[in-house]
Chains A and B, each alone.
Chain A
Amino acid sequence: MSTRRPAPDNLQPEKFAFTKENAKAINNILLKYPEGRKASALLPLLDLAQRQHDNWLPKAAMSEVAKILSLPMIKVLEVATFYTMYNLYPVGKNLLQICTTTPCWLRGSEDIVSICKDKLGINFGATTKDNRFTLLEVECLGACSNAPMIQINDDFYEDLTKESMKKIIEDLKNGKQPKIGPQSDRKGAEPINIKVQV
């Protein structure tokens, strides 16, 4: 896991404001928390800000959230730098997070990694020049029964093989939406060979 700090000033936008729809969404989120506990909405609000802002969280967005929740900026900074699902640097349109923890590694995640690196021509932590792909190495994402797997933006792509990984990247490059979930023909995490009669 790399050191988590806000992006340097030259990458930071000067301003951030929630869109009208998101401002409404914020009101709905705040309704979920009792009076006096509104600060608990920090996580969903940061997520909302990140989704609005090309999938990464600039300082301006953090201070906007701080203002909405009347929190000191440092409290927002603490949370944003703690949770790895907040991207503190600009990322490509497709954020590829490859799991390389033991189960995936045993099932061949090294191959998946090298295919991604070759096909995209970038290393871990880098973004392609056309700003379409960012590659990250992550720890276990909790889909070990479907190892090896990667997460692209919000979706899991599981049961990967060299071929299916290549195809996913091709599809993304061509602007097509690849199949989400297991790339094998099983459903979810059902046993591969044994068909249990119910």
Chain B
Amino acid sequence: MSMMKMTASALAMVAASATAAAARDNVQVAGSSTVLPYATIVAEAFAENTDFAAPVVESGGSSAGLKQFCEGVGANTIDVANSSRPIREAELATCKENGVTNIMEVRFGYDGIVFASDINGADFVLTPKDVFMALAKDVVVDGKVVANPATKWNQVNPALPDQEITVYVPGTKHGTREVFEEKVMAVGCEEAGALDALTAANGGDEDKGEAACITLRTDGRSVDIDGDYTETLARIDSNKASVGVFGLSFYENNTDKLKVATINGVTPTVETVAKGEYPVSRPLFFYVKKDHIGTIPGLQEYAEFFVSDAIAGPGGPLSEYGLVPDPELAAVQAAVAEGATITMP
């Protein structure tokens, strides 16, 4: 009989929980795994330096985070979505449908995307064109569109090492992939003069031509990595003659294992990305649900703390970790303070 009592009390406990659930005193964050380390640094410092409860930070990727963000308004939805790319129109539409209409977009810095190989391997001096010629599904040879025939880097560019082409690229759920396609593949496509030919091959449809530019080969030389950079690092460790795509901060933390490739002759560092010399970089964002400000204690303060000079500015813990500080941080701080929202479609 005591068992029945136990069950009854357990069920009562669950029922009581529904009432307790309404109140939440910590900020809930989810999203990009690139932003995750920065968000955890901020969350930790925020809890240490203020009286608010420590924010809870989840990972899962930019798209997953924004999807959760757009699920609705209320204490059982997240307050902040981290993203390594700007929010898309379609996502805004979903947000709007679910009543999430006041969204603050906060750009807190930049991140470089680097190509790196094993520390004891060959040096890579890459250009976007080389990467395009090595990784595109279809390339243009003698004016004709053919399936990519390159198997070794020196076939792409004689200056590159005589090494099999194997590149580990972040999978499509990562925001990094989009930047890689846009800033490396698409640029390389134009540099190689392949855009026109690819457009012509797709019946003159420019959109299809551009899509063909960023389509990666599927014969196993370009490998999608759906996990994190640690997985890419492990792959390079087991296949020394390969190249991986990383975030700059990840590389900065593993310089004893990785050797970074230059792009257009520029070595990626926090300085070269900040000056705009290194071409492959992207802004990092977090999105705040404005309707939660005032309901969730510490949300406004968290956003302001995140972009404060002491945290996101030069010399702060985020830039120490590998973030490229936003040159227009003051404007961002002002926008956060006044609670500027993005216009809904």
Chains A and B bind each other? no
